[in-house]
Structure 1
């Protein structure tokens, strides 16, 4: 006997029509296996006590049915021994077999007209062209050229010759404007002097639900049956994955060029295929756009340099102000020491003048004190001599002829 097949909707209607123990018995499986099937196919089921409350007349709530995006969830295959079935179960199974849901075909990527291969390739992209033509496509049908001296391209195998033609035309258009295309492994670069920009050629991709093949569905069914058998034996496996991916990444063949850095306000940085235009027809516009973009990069750099220069000037002025403040303190201390010396001379001279009449008969200690006072006056007077003061001032740079701590003049202003 063939295994029973139902749709998710049919199974949903069954499990909400009567207790799952009765439905499981009619299908020839256990109620635990039926619950696992419903969970695996994301079918809501009645909770514990639902049927008891319903039979007693209490209000109950039925969980709403929702469709899923995965076609594999729509097919439910039940393997069980032959058993008598109720009319409702037989009707649901027969209805499914009559209508038998047909899986949709795999979506195809957008097709572009074939492109004649470029024979004479611009030297800046020759290594990229060689790598793309020799590359073997990966699982998603993409090839890449992102090694040393290559342009950082990853596109579908069917777009290779079109990409080479676009890169060749762009390299020649940039060369006509005195710009060079530099392949740098993961990106491309062009520039004028110190001002550069990086850009990339990219292909738009789409993520679509994976449509499993018959072989994948059979493998998934075998995996589920193996898990059920292991569960009955108390063997649990963790980290298992479905036999096929949830989604596929589709290469659309739609290409675009994007400037990837040096954001310039108001300048265009993306060119791509559209409904009525192709990237090949935008090459001259792209080259002109990059030239304009570089002018914006230059203006941005010059503005940044002006800002840096002004910041450095302000920092210099602040440092000079701190140095002048420190010098002013040292000036005050220097003049204060000279004033203190002059005041001390006046005090000592007044003292000696007062003691002079009594000096002939003074004891030895007093005489020696007076002699010291006279010596002290000579030392202090020597420290106030203009030549000595000038030498000390020059050494400490307190009053230089050319003030090296004066603020620098601003651009266009005469120095004070």
Structure 2
């Protein structure tokens, strides 16, 4: 097991790194230079800057940094971000009825923990996730989009809580969403319905005023992830209106292209499925042929053993009858007439046994001949 280094105290480590170069101090402590640097950083011990020892050896005047009071290094704080200045709402474009209905629906909507307005439970409203301050601008963006799509086959509609840009049977989903920023000291949010089990929840974030237009395309079970995002940045969304309209007006063409791609993918999938089924059928037929050949080979082998056993029985019977003919059994003891008839029948049976075996051998020889003509299995 590797033993940990016996580090000196913070003050002693400070004196060491300012008395000799770090390579010598690390060698004395039995650690690497990287480990020494990490230890100094953890204890907030300043080290000589690059070139310090060369200047000191040349007799130049160098400055020794003092040891900080605290052993905890100061964390670099991010520069405060300037609040986003949203452009003013332009009232030149009148609001369509759907935009006005959305404005009425969100008028008394409560705020969720992220500082956005909760969606009304009733009524057809546009899909927005914004704060109360950003709601007029979001609705104005929808009004600009609807005004720009008036002369195109694409129209903005709402259906089952979704805002859709629809052209015939082709559609994509739209949503305007506001970016939020976490902030401490926000008020508690009273629940919509007061009850002993429903306590106020603290608000976690507030809106920044930066809006996004999120676009998601149809998927197998609804709509997938956002495919395109238009964001507020150096250029506000209002100045990106032309790009948004060009994208939305291309819905039918892109949908046709996507259908063609899906058709090709479906054909490729079906072709692959047929290939797999044919391959499985071929492997099943191959396995069945292997099993048939195995059974045929086993049956021929068993028939050979059966013929050998029949031959043994015939030879034993022939020997037995020969022994009887030599006088092993007196015919008078069973009756001369009865014995002669039985002996005649036994001789006939003995003569028929080879003929039966010949027929069996001929049948099995034919089967073995077929086995020799089998093609090799792949």
Q: What is the TM-score with the length of structure 1 in the denominator?
A: 0.43
